[in-house]
Structure 1
Amino acid sequence: MKKITFAERLKEARKSAKLSQEALAKKIGRTKSTISRWESGERNPKMFEMVELENALGINAEALIYGTEEIKSSTLTEINKIIVQLTDSQQEQVLNFIKNPLDDNILNTIDMMSKADDKFRDKVASYAKFEYFEYEKKLEQKNKSKQNSAS
């Protein structure tokens, strides 16, 4: 049985996360050629770079180094894929949201939504989008008022 190298596992994890070498490099502040060297086995990442790879790929370093678990897309990987597509402002909003602990009402709502049918979920999603739009509109008006009063 062929032993799978770190380089091969890294490449597999990157592809599982649906990231190009360039996208992974950007996420961890390295160059595409660095990622290429790691994936070819020419070089290995340093310890602090392994931590960055863990965070970017959503897989622990032990799995990358020793192959202790199957490499598959994790929840963190899925979140990362979405987050990188957001604007800085949207990322800030997500960060603020996750910093606040979820209370029981939100958890109960999430549980109820997971059990609901598609039609009901669509209605709730439409309502939530409308409410968020209204909130953004009020926030924008409030900011304009502040700017006008500052002038």
Structure 2
Amino acid sequence: MKKEINKQRMQAISSNITKYRKERGITQKELAENIGITPSTLSDYINLRSAPSFGVIQKLADFFGVQKTDIDSEYQLMNNIKSTSQSSVLSKINQISSELGKSRQEKVLNFAKNEKKEQDEEDKKIVHLKDEQQKQSIDLADLVDDSKVDWDKWVSFDGRPLTDEVKEAMKQLLGKRLEDK
């Protein structure tokens, strides 16, 4: 029984790694290099010959920008970690929702869907520099030309959208830097 559960876990991990790798459009070799393992080790995970350590699961999650449980759904159980704040909030939501009538449950569901949609829209605005560098190189002169740069996709270090004042200050500094050269 334990062997069967471990095999199912390994299959889930393999599927998730493959899914996120394909979404990124990178090869197994590129993924292995990015997370600091050999391509043959990654191949072993994909082909169910071995399971990644919790450290490798963390590296995969960090690289793909997802939670560890998105790679290994049993991570919390296997590593004996409890996400009390999240699980308690979800259990409270479930508890309260179960006490509501059907029409109010549907309102809660619709509200959650709208919140998720808004979150996804905000996430689309975040520019991951490594991804962008692979797609294109940016000419500094283009950064001062609003017609060539979508400033709405740029965010501050804490992930919040830039204010108009910050955008203007950045353009002025970049323009001054170009003039000096």
Q: State the TM-score, normalized to the length of structure 2.
A: 0.43
Q: Which protein has greater RCO, CA pairs closer than 8 Å, 6+ apart?
A: 1
Q: State the TM-score, normalized to the length of structure 1.
A: 0.50
